[in-house]
Amino acid sequence: HELLKDESNQVTIIAQQFPTDFEFATPYTSPIAGANWCSFAELNDKFTQEIDKNSYLKFQELIKNVPQANVTARKDITYIPINKFKTIYKGVKVLPWFAYGDMKKIIGFRELNPSEYDTSLFAYAYEYNGMVIRTGYYMTYLINEMWKMSGDVETSTSRFSMRRATIKSLSEAYTYHQHGRAEIVINCTGLLAKNLLDIESEEKEKLYPVRGVVFVAENTTGMKTLSVVDIYDPEYPEEKLYFMPRREGELIMGGVFQVNNDTKDIDPTFIHRLLSRCKKYLSQHNWENIKIIRTQFGYRPFRKGGYRIERKGNIVHVYGFGAGGFQSSWGAAAKSVELVKEYQNKSKF
Ligand SMILES: Cc1cc2nc3c(=O)[nH]c(=O)nc-3n(C[C@H](O)[C@H](O)[C@H](O)COP(=O)(O)OP(=O)(O)OC[C@H]3O[C@@H](n4cnc5c(N)ncnc54)[C@H](O)[C@@H]3O)c2cc1C
């Protein structure tokens, strides 16, 4: 999308799976995400903070001006239960980087007053102006924007095309360009980057899946804010508790964070624990007779050391986004475009 803004660029997307696919023979993460913006950057990680801030601002622009992008403004509230505060955080209040500096203002960050939550359950809570990205629709919007920019379809002047194909190695990707051989390849293969024959051997070791399971329900709960309860259950340490109310009256109910789990089985008892936690922690909402439409799972493409945005000759690697591929997307795209331009400028001389 960002590359097409330069009218001299022509782009072909090669993919095994596309956003409107509903079953995947091989891992494809993006359609499974909720998704929200909740940057995970550490307090001193300015690089990721800049990327996530850039993305936040872009999503805000879409919220305000582009309804068909399917990004919806939602207050995002996080509650920290007392047991987690005591056992895991050792009684120290932990706030994210965007609770400070100019980002605090931009994002409307605010700690909740104790009168606003149940102090017998929670040690503290905070909120900010967040969002829900309706991922399937949002990605379709992006594709349609690219077709618009293409100006033409399947002719010698078209600047965009999509190709369903499976590549075994990055070197093969050059041959799929709609107008002959590509000059540069951008590798956004997510978790499957590790299967590419010509990826560096150390990269294969770095990538690992963190499985997520979410329920898509009809939102009869009355919940209008994006709500996260930062739970810790020593018996089920992989289980989380978060909710994303989508624009069309759906509720994403999550989830789990299962490191190195690439299975497809879902524990049938999980939903019962999730609902009993809902009744305990979020009793202001109605959890009776909730109708679950679908259970879905995906593999967050984690990479040891964080994500990779790096140019090696005429390949730009952009993968390993773990649990934050949407919230980092626009910032990561901006960095990738810089790397493409760097290559284009070098190859001119
Ligand atoms: C349950 C869950 C909840 C999440 N919630 C959030 C959230 O709230 N906010 C957030 O920011 N992130 C969230 N994430 C994380 C986010 O979904 C990922 O970081 C993001 O989707 C990764 O995108 P990607 O494009 O790198 O990988 P993918 O979406 O997996 O895309 C990779 C693409 O490469 C193609 N491909 C791979 N190998 C080949 C090949 N050899 N040949 C051809 N094509 C190939 C695939 O077919 C696919 O099209 C969540 C993830 C899960 C599972």
**C-alpha to C-alpha distance for 119 and 124, rounded to whole angstroms:** 8
Q: How far apart, in Å, are the Cα atoms of 268 and each of 100, 204, 213, 274, 311?
A: 41, 33, 12, 11, 44
End-to-end Cα separation, the chain, in angstroms: 26
- The annotation status of 295 as a binding-site residue, yes or no, is no
Amino acid (one-letter) located at 317: H
**C-alpha to C-alpha distance for 175 and 184, rounded to whole angstroms:** 11
Residue closest by Cα to atom 21 of ligand 1: 30
- The annotation status of 119 as a binding-site residue, yes or no, is no
- Indicate which atom in ligand 1 lies nearest the CA of residue 244: 8
pLDDT tens digits, 118-128? 999 999 999 99
For ligand 1, mutation pick of 37, 259, 303, 326 (most atoms within 8 Å of CB): 326
Treating both helix axes as pointing N-terminal to C-terminal, what angle do 329-348 and 46-65 enclose, rounded to 10 degrees? 110
Quick one: what percent of the chain has pLDDT higher than 70? 100
- The annotation status of 189 as a binding-site residue, yes or no, is yes
Sign of the torsion angle spanned by Cα atoms 72, 80, 41, 29: negative
What pLDDT score was predicted for residue 22? Answer: 86
Q: Distance from the CA of 264 to the center of ligand 1, in angstroms?
A: 16
Q: Are strands 239-245 and 226-229 parallel, antiparallel or unpaired?
A: antiparallel
Q: Is 29 in the pocket of ligand 1 (CB under 6 A)?
A: yes
Q: Contact at 8 Å (CB) between 156 and 162?
A: no
Q: Is 187 in the pocket of ligand 1 (CB under 6 A)?
A: no
Identify the three-state secondary structure at position 213: strand
- Indicate which atom in ligand 1 lies nearest the CA of residue 318: 26
Q: Distance from the CA of 190 to the center of ligand 1, in angstroms?
A: 6
Amino acid (one-letter) located at 155: T
Q: Distance from the CA of 166 to the center of ligand 1, in angstroms?
A: 16
ipTM summary value? 0.99
- 173-207 burial: b if 16+ Cβ within 10 Å, else e: bbebbbeeebebbbbbbbbbbbbbeebeeebeebb
What pLDDT score was predicted for residue 347? Answer: 81
For ligand 1, mutation pick of 189, 303, 318 (most atoms within 8 Å of CB): 189
Average pLDDT, whole number, for the chain? 97
Per-residue H/E/C for 9-21: CCEEEEECCCCCC
**C-alpha to C-alpha distance for 251 and 221, rounded to whole angstroms:** 9
Q: Is 138 in the pocket of ligand 1 (CB under 6 A)?
A: no
Q: What is the pTM of this model?
A: 0.97
pLDDT tens digits, 288-339? 999 999 999 999 999 999 999 999 999 999 999 999 999 999 999 999 999 9
CB atoms within 10 A of CB 163: 13
What pLDDT score was predicted for residue 164? Answer: 96
pLDDT tens digits, 166-219? 999 999 999 999 999 999 999 999 999 999 999 999 999 999 999 999 999 999
Q: Distance from the CA of 308 to the center of ligand 1, in angstroms?
A: 14
Q: Is 14 in the pocket of ligand 1 (CB under 6 A)?
A: yes
- Indicate which atom in ligand 1 lies nearest the CA of residue 298: 53
